[in-house]
């Protein structure tokens, strides 16, 4: 029986140049991409074209890629350090400058022998098990996902959970849905608090919802929802009494604080002191609203509010927004359990920041607030975040199909990694120790892809036990 042999050879210089008249030319800078954690001591960045996949790996000593195989031919080039590869019952030691060619269909595994090892891999054809999330690197880690709700026609936006376990979700406005706010009842979305407040495909109305997204439940068990008002041109904060299932407040932000064109999409509520904090990505800033006096102020212009020059790479593709590589500014915003620290970060960003909330309550000027902002820790390119009573921050990881945890000591780890987490949009922590996750494939919408909607329903709200 004949077998194909692996090829091991030195290489001083390697370059790739692929041009196709039938496909879009892809150009990216790996320095602007974030590292995806795919195992202990194992990180990668990767991109795919129409016919091939290219990956850049960083490994620590002891990192291990378990036995696996794929139909793709693989060219592995070790640029730093060394690895041990087991294949066809033979051992290959590949040091810096060495290349290993692995034929398709051959089982192999990698062991890293030195800290700081770097590996460039080229695959042909495209690694479809990477792009569809079925590769072993994307197999579920952490507690299993449980389906809370399935959406067959619309995308969930943000999710919130009441103190007694009721689950609420906005419907993402990018798809112009008929409903805007729902409660999950027996796994199905039901208009909340009533059908008459939903837009129902009609024109915007000051008495109805317009384009809400951010939702949160405070310690007094009230549901809050920020309505961006993209059609009305007016941003409103709604409050609902969950005992009576009715609107108790509707606060309109003044035009000088949230002018038409604002995209105020996330909210954190301080029920202890009576304040709300909102994030605007269109004119990057934090809006602080006194819930008693209804007076608001905007903090903007600080570097921490802006997008970093970091690419969003999902399934090997650089994600655009508005026709060019995504650069989305301040997005998730949360409060500490004692409501004394405000946390925030940009979507296209790798830093999670903190600032004393008392500076906003005391109406400190922008310079004082800006000087008080400190980096709390690292974060992935993300959409949503939640902070629990123990000081842990749960942050969605868009490129990693996962949820990251930033602990009180600033250490970043992974809570769950699962190929089904195709754009985990938002998270919420429940009183009984579950993390709820809305998943909506937002990168396939026209706003991000520049093409007709390529989403593949159903979309989900999941939960995992922490």
Say yes or no: 177 and 133 in one domain: no
Where is pLDDT greater, at 91 or 133? 91
2 lies in some domain:
no
User: What pLDDT sits at residue 17?
Assistant: 33
pLDDT band for 139, please (50, 70, 90 cuts). low
Where is pLDDT greater, at 128 or 354? 354
d(CA 31, CA 447): 25
pLDDT band for 295, please (50, 70, 90 cuts). very high
Residue-wise pLDDT for 43-89, tens only, equals 999 888 889 999 999 999 999 998 999 999 999 999 999 999 999 88
Say yes or no: 115 and 167 in one domain: no
355 lies in some domain:
yes
User: What pLDDT sits at residue 24?
Assistant: 56
Q: Would you give the end-to-end CA distance of the chain in angstroms? A: 51
Say yes or no: 119 and 188 in one domain: no
Cβ count near 206 (within 10 Å): 11
pLDDT band for 419, please (50, 70, 90 cuts). confident
Region 94-118: mean pLDDT is 95
User: What pLDDT sits at residue 95?
Assistant: 96
1 lies in some domain:
no
Q: Is the pLDDT of residue 445 over 60?
A: yes
Region 414-438: mean pLDDT is 95
pLDDT band for 439, please (50, 70, 90 cuts). very high
d(CA 334, CA 158): 14
User: Residue 75: which CATH number?
Assistant: 2.60.120.10
* Of 137, 166, 196, the domain-final residue: 137
Cβ count near 279 (within 10 Å): 26
Say yes or no: 150 and 131 in one domain: no
Closest CA to 352 of 372, 375, 328, 329: 375
346 lies in some domain:
yes
Q: Which residues pair with 318 in a beta bridge?
A: 313
Q: Is the pLDDT of residue 348 over 50?
A: yes
Q: Is the pLDDT of residue 11 over 50?
A: no
pLDDT band for 204, please (50, 70, 90 cuts). confident
Say yes or no: 166 and 105 in one domain: no
Say yes or no: 157 and 133 in one domain: no
User: What pLDDT sits at residue 7?
Assistant: 40
CB-CB contact of 448 with 143 (8 Å): no
Closest CA to 96 of 81, 85, 83: 81
Region 162-190: mean pLDDT is 94
User: What pLDDT sits at residue 2?
Assistant: 39
User: What pLDDT sits at residue 137?
Assistant: 65
Residue-wise pLDDT for 383-411, tens only, equals 999 999 999 999 999 998 999 999 999 99
Region 97-109: mean pLDDT is 94
Say yes or no: 87 and 112 in one domain: yes
User: What pLDDT sits at residue 8?
Assistant: 42
Say yes or no: 167 and 263 in one domain: yes
Residues spanned by the domain of 394: 146-465
pLDDT band for 336, please (50, 70, 90 cuts). very high
Mean pLDDT of the chain: 91
Say yes or no: 238 and 99 in one domain: no
Task: Read off φ and ψ for residue 92, nearest 5 degrees.
Answer: -120, 120
* Of 137, 161, 195, the domain-final residue: 137
Region 111-124: mean pLDDT is 96
d(CA 172, CA 159): 11
Cβ count near 367 (within 10 Å): 10
- The arrangement of strands across the sheet holding 181-185 comes to 156-161, 167-171, 181-185, 188-191
User: What pLDDT sits at residue 50?
Assistant: 85
Say yes or no: 342 and 362 in one domain: yes
User: Residue 180: which CATH number?
Assistant: 2.120.10.30
User: What pLDDT sits at residue 19?
Assistant: 31
430 lies in some domain:
yes
Percent of the chain with pLDDT over 90: 78
Q: Is the pLDDT of residue 343 over 80?
A: yes
User: What pLDDT sits at residue 140?
Assistant: 67
Residues near 185 by beta carbon (within 8 Å), at least 6 away in sequence: none
150 lies in some domain:
yes
The two three-digit tokens of residue 466, written as one number:
């922490």
User: Does residue 125 have a cis peptide bond before it, meaning omega lies within 30 degrees of 0?
Assistant: yes
User: What pLDDT sits at residue 425?
Assistant: 97
Cβ count near 371 (within 10 Å): 12
Say yes or no: 32 and 161 in one domain: no
Say yes or no: 198 and 103 in one domain: no
CB-CB contact of 11 with 98 (8 Å): yes
Task: Read off φ and ψ for residue 130, nearest 5 degrees.
Answer: -80, -45
* Of 90, 113, 137, the domain-final residue: 137
Work out how many domains the chain is built from and give that number.
2
Give the 3-state secondary structure of the chain.
CCCCCCEEEECCCCCCCCCCCCCCCCCCCHHHECCEEEECCEEEEEEECCCCEEEEEEECCCCEEEEECCCCEEEEEEEECEEEEEECCEEEEEECCEEEEECCCCCEEEEECCCCEEEEEEEECCCHHHHCCCCHHHCCECCCCEEEEEECCCCEEEEEECCCCCEEEEECHHHCCCCCEEEEECCEEEECCCHHHCCCCCCCCCCCCCCEEEEEECCCCEEEEEECCCCCCCCEEEEEECCCCEEEEEEECCCCCCCCCCCEEEEEEECCCCEEEEEECCCCEEEEEECCCCCEEEEECCHHHCCCCCECEECCEECEECCEECCCCEEEEEECCCCCEEEEEECCCCEEEEEECHHHHCCCCHHHHHHHCEEEEECCCCCCEEECCCCCEEEEECCCCEEEEECCCCCEEEEEECCCCCCEEEEEECCCCEEEEEECCHHHCHHHHCCCCCCCCCEEEEEEEC
Task: Read off φ and ψ for residue 229, nearest 5 degrees.
Answer: 60, 45
Where is pLDDT greater, at 201 or 435? 435
Q: Is the pLDDT of residue 381 over 50?
A: yes
């Amino acid at each position: 029986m004949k077998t194909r042999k692996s090829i091991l050879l030195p290489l001083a210089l390697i370059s790739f140049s692929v041009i196709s008249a039938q496909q879009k030319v892809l150009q990216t800078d790996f320095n602007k991409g974030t590292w995806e954690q795919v195992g202990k001591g194992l990180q990668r960045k990767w991109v795919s074209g129409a016919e091939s996949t290219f990956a850049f790996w960083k490994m620590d000593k002891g990192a291990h890629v378990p036995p696996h195989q794929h139909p793709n031919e693989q060219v592995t080039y070790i640029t730093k350090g060394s690895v041990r590869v087991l294949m066809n019952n033979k051992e290959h030691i590949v040091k810096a400058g060495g290349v290993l060619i692995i034929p398709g269909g051959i089982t192999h595994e990698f062991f890293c022998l030195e800290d700081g090892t770097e590996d460039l891999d080229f695959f042909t054809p495209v690694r479809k098990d990477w792009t569809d999330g079925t590769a072993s690197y994307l197999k579920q880690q952490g507690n299993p996902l449980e389906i809370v709700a399935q959406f067959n026609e619309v995308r969930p936006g943000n999710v919130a959970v009441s103190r007694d376990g009721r689950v609420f979700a906005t419907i993402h406005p990018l798809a112009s849905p008929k409903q805007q706010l729902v409660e999950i009842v027996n796994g199905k979305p039901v208009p909340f608090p009533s059908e008459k407040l939903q837009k129902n495909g009609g024109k915007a109305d000051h008495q109805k919802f317009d384009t809400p997204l951010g939702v949160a439940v405070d310690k007094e068990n009230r549901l809050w929802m920020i309505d961006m008002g993209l059609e009305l041109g007016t941003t409103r904060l709604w409050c609902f009494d969950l005992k009576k299932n009715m609107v108790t407040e509707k606060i309109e932000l003044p035009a000088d604080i949230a002018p038409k064109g604002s995209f105020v999409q996330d909210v954190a509520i301080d029920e202890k002191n009576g304040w709300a904090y909102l994030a605007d990505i269109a004119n990057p800033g934090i809006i602080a609203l006194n819930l008693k006096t209804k007076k608001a102020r905007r903090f903007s212009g600080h570097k921490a509010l802006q997008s970093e020059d970091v690419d969003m790479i999902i399934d090997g593709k650089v994600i655009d927004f508005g026709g060019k590589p995504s650069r989305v500014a301040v997005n998730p915003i949360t409060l500490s359990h004692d409501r004394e620290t405000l946390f925030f970060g940009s979507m296209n960003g790798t830093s999670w920041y903190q600032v004393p909330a008392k500076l906003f309550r005391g109406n400190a000027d922008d310079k004082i607030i800006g000087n008080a902002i400190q980096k709390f820790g690292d974060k992935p390119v993300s959409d949503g975040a939640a902070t629990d009573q123990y000081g842990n921050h749960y942050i969605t990881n868009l490129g990693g199909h996962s949820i990251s945890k930033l602990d009180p000591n600033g250490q970043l780890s992974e809570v769950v990694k699962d190929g089904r987490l195709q754009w985990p949009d938002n998270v919420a922590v429940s009183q009984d120790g579950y993390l709820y996750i809305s998943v909506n494939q937002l990168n396939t919408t026209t706003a991000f892809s520049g093409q007709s909607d390529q989403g593949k329903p159903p979309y989900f709200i999941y939960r995992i036990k922490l």
